[in-house]
Homo-oligomer: A and B are copies of this chain.
Amino acid sequence: MMSLVTFTRNNALPLLRTSITVRIQLNSASLSSLVRLEEKQGYAVVAMHKPPVNSLSLEMIQALSESLSELEKNKCKGFILTSACPGIFSAGLDIREMYQPTEERLKEFWSSLQTLWLQLYGSKMASVALINGHAPAGGCLLAMCCDSRIMVNGKSKIGLNETKLGIVAPFWFKDTFVNTIGVRQSERALQLGSLFTPDEALKIGLVDRVLPDPEAATAVAESELKEFLQIPAMVRYLSKMRIREAALKDLLENREKDLNTFVNFATTDAVQKGLGIYLQSLAKKN
């Protein structure tokens, strides 16, 4: 255990540079917290643990952000991003953050998500997503930010299914999608809100490998990460930036505009009504 971070209400992280002033060492009693960090030989495992579905609430987003900062502070060179919740990688953004929110919290929520994407998509660390369960919407986004994607076969699906919930993926979700599966597949899948089986995801390049069970997938994720770690860190990072810097720059230069667009869109009557119906349907299921 390197450390475990569950800060809340702190989205002022300097981007792409990690310099949190207070390091928090948590004891094993905190293992039930939102993100579990485990130290391995030369890398870390970042396991999301917010039962039941690793929904990305403000607190969860910030916990992930702080975890990445903590790893970089500890000179960690790479990590495997996975889930500690059975059957689910991450269900994506917590819809309840968007339903009847205060404007202040809604803004902090979205700004924290921007920060997390900028950190993860532009990370100096090497990263492999070990997708051991469903990965819709924001869950798919987290996986796409990694340098490689290994998925466990089974009933899980992955994709940007925003339109199925009546919402539109922001432009930086789209950029990440296009950089992963290309223009045409993105155009179709974005419109239809497609969720792909592991084999379908493999075929269009949304994941790089599909393994039959979690053990095999974990072994491949480790060997994959080690392949990245064999490359000198700085030249590997600079090579990654050759591809990703345009998209990162685009959000960095348009954060405020994107934030306002999101807040205005999310608080429209139509979206609020849709989210209300969706949340009611979820409540009935439970």
Is there an interface contact between B205 and A184, defined as CB atoms closer than 8 Å?
yes
A187 CB–B CB distance under 8 Å:
yes
Which residue on B lies nearest to A126, using beta carbons? B191
Question: Which residues of B are found within 8 Å of A231, using beta-carbon distances?
Answer: 163-164, 191-193
Is there an interface contact between A168 and B239, defined as CB atoms closer than 8 Å?
yes
Copies per assembly: 3
A124-166, CB < 8 A from B: 126, 147-148, 162-164, 166
Is there an interface contact between B174 and A242, defined as CB atoms closer than 8 Å?
yes
Chain A contacts to B: CB under 8 angstroms: 126, 147-148, 162-164, 166-169, 171, 174, 178-184, 186-188, 190-193, 205, 208, 227-228, 231-232, 235-236, 238-240, 242-244
Give the interface SS of chain A, mostly helix, strand, loop or mixed. helix
Question: Which residues of B are found within 8 Å of A163, using beta-carbon distances?
Answer: 231-232, 235-236, 239
Evaluate whether A187 and B243 lie within 8 angstroms (CB atoms) in the complex, with A168-B238, A227-B192, A238-B168 already known.
yes
The 7 nearest A-B residue pairs measured at CB: A187-B243, A190-B239, A174-B242, A168-B238, A163-B235, A179-B183, A163-B231
